[in-house]
Structure 1
Amino acid sequence: MSLMPMIEFARKRPALLLAGGAVPLALAAAAVALNKAPEKAAAPKPLPLVSVAPAVARDLPVKLSAQGHLVALTQVDVRPQATGTIRAIHFKEGDEVKAGQLMFTLDASDVAAQLAKAQATAAQVQAQLDEAQRDLVRTQQLAKAQFYSPSSVDAAEGRVATLRAQHRAMLADIENSRVLVDRTRILAPMAGLTGALSVHPGSLAQPGAASPLVNVAQMDPIGVEFTLPEANLPALLAARDAGKVQLSIAAAYGTPVQGKLVFVNNTVNADTGTISLKAAFPNPRKALWPGAYVKVQLTAGVSPGAVTLAPQSILDSPGGRFVFVLDAPAGKVVARPVTLLRIQEQLAVVEGLANGEQVVTEGQLGLKTGAAVRVAAAAPAASAGAAP
C-alpha cells in the first residue's frame, strides 16, 4: 500500500486504525498531527484611550451660592403687662402698623379707681403737711419769745418730716397707678406687619399667657439666614474687611435684589462644618416674605492664581479626592490627591495642582498609577462657562 492513501485513510479514520493495529504508530501520529489546526499568535492588548486637558491658574472671582430662608430682622411678640379684659382692638390682623400706634385697649376701671384713690390720699396728706408747716412756723416764733420750749419745736419739726415722707409715698402710689393705667393701652413697639390675632374683644389678657396677643415683624429691610462651608470663611472675612462682599437674591418679580452682609456667627458648627450668616435686603414692595427659601449668590473678592479644571476630572476614593496627571514623556498617568475648594461657573477650583499640568478628563475607568495610556486629543484649556 502506498503512503498517501494510508495517510488520507488515517485522517478520516484515526480511531479505527489505532484500535485495529493495522497501521504503524508513526503513521497514526502523522495523521493526528495533520488533523490538528495551527494556533494563531495572540494580538497585543491596546492601551487605554484617554482625553487630557491642562489645569489653568487664573485670577477668579470667589463666587459662592447657598440656600437660605427669609427672616424678619426684627420681630416682637406683643404681650400685655397687666391682667384685664380686652375692650377694643384698633387694627385688623395683617395690617401694617407704625411705632407707637394704639393696638389694644384693656378694661381700666379698677386701675382708674386706684389712681383716683391715690390722688385723693395724696391731697389729704398735702393738706396735713401744709397745716403742720404753719404750726412749725408759729411754734418757732413763740419759742423765740420763750412761750414754747425747744422740745415743742422738735415735735413740730418731726411732724412735718413725717408728713413729707407720707406725701412722697402717696406721689409714688399715684405714679404706679398711672403706669397701670398706661398698661391698659397697648401700643405698637415698632413699625411692621402684624400677624394673626390670638384674642378678640372680651378675651382675658394675661402677662403669663402662652400665646402673644399678636406678632409684629419688620418687613423692610428683610433678612436672609444661610450657611457656608468653613473652608470659605477666610476668603469671606478678608472680603468683608475690605468691603468687597456682594450679595444678591432673586425676588418674586424676577429682578435680583442686592443686599449686604450684616452678621457672621462667632462659632463654626462642629457637626456640619458650616458657618451661619445673615444678610439684609431692601423689601419696599413686600415681595420677599419671611419663611420663604431663596438662593443666595455671594461674591467675596478675587482668588488670585486659582487652579481650575473640568469637574469630571476629579475622582473619589476612600482616601479622598484625586485626579490622574499625564506624564507626557513616559506616556503614563499618576494619581495626584487634590482638595476641591468649590464648583464655580462649571469649573472645579482645586488645590494640589500646578498651572499647565495635563489632567485626564475622560477614560479614567480602570486606570491606576503608572498605567500607560494613549491620548486621544489635547482638549482646550478649561474656561469659564465651558460645559463639562
Structure 2
Amino acid sequence: MRTLIAIVALAASLPLASRADDFPLSAVSVTEWKAVYGRIEARSRIPARARLGGTLVSLDVSEGDVVTAGQVLAQIVDAKIGYQLAAIDAQLQALTAQMDNAKLELTRGEVLLARGVTTAQRLDALRTQVDVLIGQIAAAGADRKVVEQQALEGAVLAPIGGRVLAVPVAAGAVVLPGEAVATIGGGGIFLRIAVPERHAAFLHEGAAIEIETAAGPSQGTLARLYPLIENGRVIADVDVPDLPESFIDARVLVRLPVDTRTALMVPEAAVVTRTGLDFVEVAGAEGPVLRTVVLGQRQTLDGAAMIEVLSGLVAGDIVVTKHE
C-alpha cells in the first residue's frame, strides 16, 4: 500500500505540460453491444432437380462452380425412351403405308363412281378410311413429340445463376424424377443471425451492425426481423456491403446494439499511463493535475476514439485533452 501511494505521489509530482484544450466531462449515452455469431447465406438456395428418371450419364459441375441460369449441369438418359421412339416410328411407317393405299383406293373409287360402276356409299367409306388414317398419323406424331420432349428433359438445368453449393450424386448413379442433382445458391448473399429473445425488444430494423470479417471490420444494417422465435432465439437478416461470398454458411462475429446507458467518456488522447497506472489530466484551481482513473470499454462516438472512466472523475471535471 505504501509503495502504491509513493508511486501515485511520484506521478503526481512530475512536471505537467501546460493546458492546451479543455474537455468538460459529462455523462453521455453509449450503446451496449452484444457479440453473436452470424452465418453467411445465399438469398436463394434452389435445388436443380431431375425431370426424368434414369441413369446419370454425365455430371458437368462440382461444388464451388459458378453457373448461369439455364446452364446444363448434368445429363440423364432413360434407355426405354429409345425403344418408345422406335415403336412409334414403326407405327408411323405402317400408318403411312395404309394411308398411301387408302388414297389409291379413294382415287379408284372416284373413277368408278364417275363410270357408274360403284356406289356413293362405297366412296364415302373410302373417304372416311382416309380421314381415320390421317387422324391416327397425327396422334402418333404427337406421341412421338411427347417422347422427344421427355428425352430433352434428361438435361438437368440450373434454375438460377449462382454458385454450386452441393452435388449429392455422382455420374453413373440412378436418379428418380424430382431428385436433386445439385443445389444452387444465388440472388446475392446476406448475413443471418440468431439473437437471444431477451434482447429482441432492443432490436429494430435499420440499426447499424458491426461485423468482424476476415478482411477486417465492416458495418451492416439490420434489414429484417422475423416474428417467429425458434429455440429461444430471434432470427434476423443483416445487409452487409462487400460481404465475402467465398464460403456459404461461414460464421462471422457480429456486434449488435442491445441497450443504451450513460457513462463518463474521455478521449483516448487524454489518458496517460505511467508506472502501470492510468491518469487523466484535469484543470484544477491551482493548475492542471493528474488523477488516477480506472478505465472501462473503448468506443467510437461521432468518429472519435473514446474510453469510459469507471472511477476517478466526476461529471463537471474539465479534462485537458491536448498538451504542448
The structure whose residues are more often strand, as a share, is 2
Shift of 1:221: 1.9
SS of residue paired to 1:112? helix
Quote the Cα distance in structure 1 between the aligned partners of 2:58 and 2:260: 67
For 1:91-130, list aligned pairs within 5 A.
91-126=61-96, 128-129=98-99
Q: 1:379 aligns with which of 298, 315, 318?
A: 315
- Retained in 2: the 8 A contact 1:54–1:309? no
Quote the Cα distance in structure 2 between the aligned partners of 1:129 and 1:226: 70
Deviations 1:194-243 (A, max 9, x none): 3454443333233376xx4333323x72122235655357x53xx6xxxx
Shift in alpha-carbon separation, 1:194–1:155, aligned structure 2, 3 A: same
Quote the Cα distance in structure 1 between the aligned partners of 2:128 and 2:92: 19
Q: Give the match for residue 8 of structure 2.
A: none
Shift in alpha-carbon separation, 1:199–1:146, aligned structure 2, 3 A: same
- Corresponding letter in the other structure for 1:253: A
SS of residue paired to 2:172? coil
Quote the Cα distance in structure 1 between the aligned partners of 2:138 and 2:200: 61
- Retained in 2: the 8 A contact 1:221–1:280? no
Q: 2:162 aligns with which of 192, 214, 219?
A: 192
For 1:299-318, list aligned pairs within 5 A.
309-310=262-263
Measured on the aligned residues, the alpha-carbon RMSD in Å equals 4.9
Gapped regions of structure 2 (runs ≥ 5):
1-24, 265-298, 302-309, 318-324
Q: Give the match for residue 277 of structure 1.
A: 236
Shift of 1:254: 1.4
Shift of 1:54: 8.8
Quote the Cα distance in structure 2 between the aligned partners of 1:138 and 1:255: 92
Alignment partner of 1:225 is 2:192 = yes
Q: Give the match for residue 332 of structure 1.
A: none
Q: Give the match for residue 151 of structure 2.
A: 181
Q: 1:290 aligns with which of 248, 257, 261?
A: 248
Quote the Cα distance in structure 2 between the aligned partners of 1:206 and 1:185: 13
Gapped regions of structure 1 (runs ≥ 5):
1-52, 240-244, 300-305, 312-344, 348-361, 363-375, 382-388
Q: What TM-score, normalized to structure 1?
A: 0.47
For 1:225-374, list aligned pairs within 5 A.
225-227=192-194, 229-232=199-202, 236=205, 249-254=211-216, 256=218, 261=223, 264-265=225-226, 267-269=227-229, 272=232, 274=234, 276-281=235-240, 286-287=245-246, 289-296=247-254, 309-310=262-263
Provide the aligned length of Structure 1 versus Structure 2.
249
For 1:109-188, list aligned pairs within 5 A.
109-126=79-96, 128-129=98-99, 132=102, 149-188=119-158
Shift in alpha-carbon separation, 1:101–1:153, aligned structure 2, 3 A: same
Q: 1:216 aligns with which of 184, 187, 196?
A: 184
Q: Give the match for residue 43 of structure 2.
A: 73
Quote the Cα distance in structure 1 between the aligned partners of 2:106 and 2:147: 32
Quote the Cα distance in structure 2 between the aligned partners of 1:346 and 1:285: 25
SS of residue paired to 1:110? helix
Shift of 1:72: 1.8
Shift of 1:163: 2.6
- Retained in 2: the 8 A contact 1:221–1:281? no
- Corresponding letter in the other structure for 1:292: A
- Corresponding letter in the other structure for 2:229: N
- Retained in 2: the 8 A contact 1:221–1:283? no
Shift of 1:139: 5.6
- Corresponding letter in the other structure for 1:89: L
For 1:14-93, list aligned pairs within 5 A.
67-93=37-63
Shift of 1:64: 8.9
Quote the Cα distance in structure 1 between the aligned partners of 2:59 and 2:78: 15
- Retained in 2: the 8 A contact 1:310–1:346? no
Shift of 1:249: 3.6
Quote the Cα distance in structure 2 between the aligned partners of 1:379 and 1:177: 85
Shift in alpha-carbon separation, 1:179–1:103, aligned structure 2, 3 A: same
- Corresponding letter in the other structure for 2:61: F
Quote the Cα distance in structure 1 between the aligned partners of 2:142 and 2:77: 23
Q: What TM-score, normalized to structure 2?
A: 0.55
Shift in alpha-carbon separation, 1:281–1:137, aligned structure 2, 3 A: farther
- Corresponding letter in the other structure for 1:222: I
Quote the Cα distance in structure 1 between the aligned partners of 2:248 and 2:181: 20
Shift in alpha-carbon separation, 1:283–1:86, aligned structure 2, 3 A: farther
Deviations 1:269-314 (A, max 9, x none): 397484x333455668634x22222345689xxxxxx995349xxx
- Retained in 2: the 8 A contact 1:264–1:277? yes
Deviations 1:337-356 (A, max 9, x none): xxxxxxxx699xxxxxxxxx
Shift in alpha-carbon separation, 1:69–1:377, aligned structure 2, 3 A: closer
SS of residue paired to 1:73? strand
Quote the Cα distance in structure 2 between the aligned partners of 1:213 and 1:270: 30
What percent of counterpart residues are identical? 23
Q: Give the match for residue 27 of structure 1.
A: none
